[in-house]
Structure 1
């Protein structure tokens, strides 16, 4: 039995339970893994922290609390794509070649950037910014900031695969790769670490720097991992924020 058929045959409670475990594990592994990586790179002198100011006293507790709510939204929300399949609104292909899977993942990653830019830009409008303010309370970001946002924002950002499912029969693992790669790229963006200081702000390897600039100067850099949407829409932040005096780097 292929994974897609197995998923379709689960009941609603099983799907939601699997979703909670899946997204909870992603968040914990991403936060711990990136925290350990940046500490190791800093000790080796590879790359550099972007903002050395200490975190706010309650920041990590707030990020964990808000992220718990986001995990609930994402995990319980797994029932929506499952429901699309149950209703026959969407279908999964049972087999796919390596080339097809690679192409599907590539297209979904590009769509992820487009989808994120649109929703992120909407969250910075006057009517919706109140739902995005929770995330921007983390001026100095940490890997734990990744899911730290309002449930409304979680619902807006978490529907990434629904529209693609309506227009194409994906392979199960192509769809399953989206939250994994999205979490990986998102945790890089919130790592508060410049992994490749010598590349330009528009370079694909400068995602963490671009998102750091967004948290420092929110009117711009609405894109996700890549810079193409901000370049097309002319919403790039090109100047570096004013840094506070150097201080011991706070542990994540």
Structure 2
């Protein structure tokens, strides 16, 4: 498969990239929305984290911004393809299953490090205006995942380029990065606590942590794991959004669900 990817023409790489990222976004987003709005509540599994409603203009904004991100990520496939064409990077040939599994584990850790660094930079004074569009989704949805400013999309989309310069990865290891990245992103933005019985610091509580990041607008800069926020002291307290949510619940109790 790696040889077939390298043999593609420039327009073919762009078209395949657009199809790949578009299908990932719509597929994962739709499945996660169905699970959290229909199936899991009906089964009594998990709970909604932020009860505040999503306004219609948020849906429109998320799909427009996400469309631009899909365009950037899809067309951006020319960069890893270009590294291979220039001979600056190579793909491993006949990689074993163990090698692919080890590479995916390393890339998952790198993905978290890369995300934390870029996310922290996007909260700096110099770059926060490029992260603002994403944070307009205070109550997140699975379709918030790619709702970025183009600058943020470019920053986050560079995740596999640096590793490719340092090691000859399998094609399948590299292709797994956007898959598990978007999967984790959909979980994190689903506004749903999938496993209520685990602690706030557990890997399975990533949706709780990222929900708090959007509600409090700072801290919890990590992705699926917690080691970067622990290392740099940027983890939010589990009750960081209680003031806002309790105020909303009191208003609902006083004025009814349409308030």
**Range into which the TM-score falls when normalised by the shorter chain:** over 0.9
Residue correspondence of structure 1 range 125-144 to structure 2 within 5 A: 125-144=124-143
Judge conservation of contact 1:221–1:237 (CA < 8 Å) in 2. yes
Residue correspondence of structure 1 range 137-176 to structure 2 within 5 A: 137-176=136-175
Judge conservation of contact 2:200–2:238 (CA < 8 Å) in 1. no
Q: Following TM superposition, by how much is the alpha carbon of 1:201 offset from its aligned partner in structure 2, in angstroms?
A: 1.4
1:162-203 CA distances to partner (integer Å, 9 max, x unpaired)?
A: 000000000000000000000000000000000112211110
Indicate the residue corresponding to 1:245 in structure 2: 249
Residue correspondence of structure 1 range 12-91 to structure 2 within 5 A: 12-39=10-37, 40-91=39-90
Q: Following TM superposition, by how much is the alpha carbon of 1:57 offset from its aligned partner in structure 2, in angstroms?
A: 2.8
- Paired with 1:236 and 1:41, the residues of 2 have a C-alpha distance of 28
- Paired with 1:123 and 1:38, the residues of 2 have a C-alpha distance of 29
TM-score norm. by structure 1 comes to 0.96
Q: More relative contact order in 1 or in 2 (CA 8 Å, sep 6+)?
A: 1
Q: How many residues align?
A: 247
- Paired with 1:131 and 1:67, the residues of 2 have a C-alpha distance of 14
Q: Secondary structure at the match of 1:127?
A: coil
Unaligned runs of 5+ in 2: none
- Paired with 1:136 and 1:42, the residues of 2 have a C-alpha distance of 26
Judge conservation of contact 1:201–1:238 (CA < 8 Å) in 2. no
Q: Following TM superposition, by how much is the alpha carbon of 1:139 offset from its aligned partner in structure 2, in angstroms?
A: 0.3
1:83-111 CA distances to partner (integer Å, 9 max, x unpaired)?
A: 00000000001211111000000000000
- Paired with 2:144 and 2:56, the residues of 1 have a C-alpha distance of 15
Q: Following TM superposition, by how much is the alpha carbon of 1:239 offset from its aligned partner in structure 2, in angstroms?
A: 3.3
Is 2:227 the partner of 1:228? yes
* Structure whose residues are more often helix by fraction: 2
1:205-231 CA distances to partner (integer Å, 9 max, x unpaired)?
A: 000000001001122000001111100
Deviates more, 1:151-160 or 1:238-247: 238-247
Indicate the residue corresponding to 1:186 in structure 2: 185
Query: 4+ residue stretches of structure 1 with deviation over 3 A?
Result: 246-249
Unaligned runs of 5+ in 1: none
Q: Secondary structure at the match of 1:219?
A: coil
Q: Secondary structure at the match of 2:56?
A: coil
Is 2:210 the partner of 1:211? yes
- Paired with 2:56 and 2:7, the residues of 1 have a C-alpha distance of 46
Q: Following TM superposition, by how much is the alpha carbon of 1:238 offset from its aligned partner in structure 2, in angstroms?
A: 1.1
Judge conservation of contact 2:130–2:149 (CA < 8 Å) in 1. yes
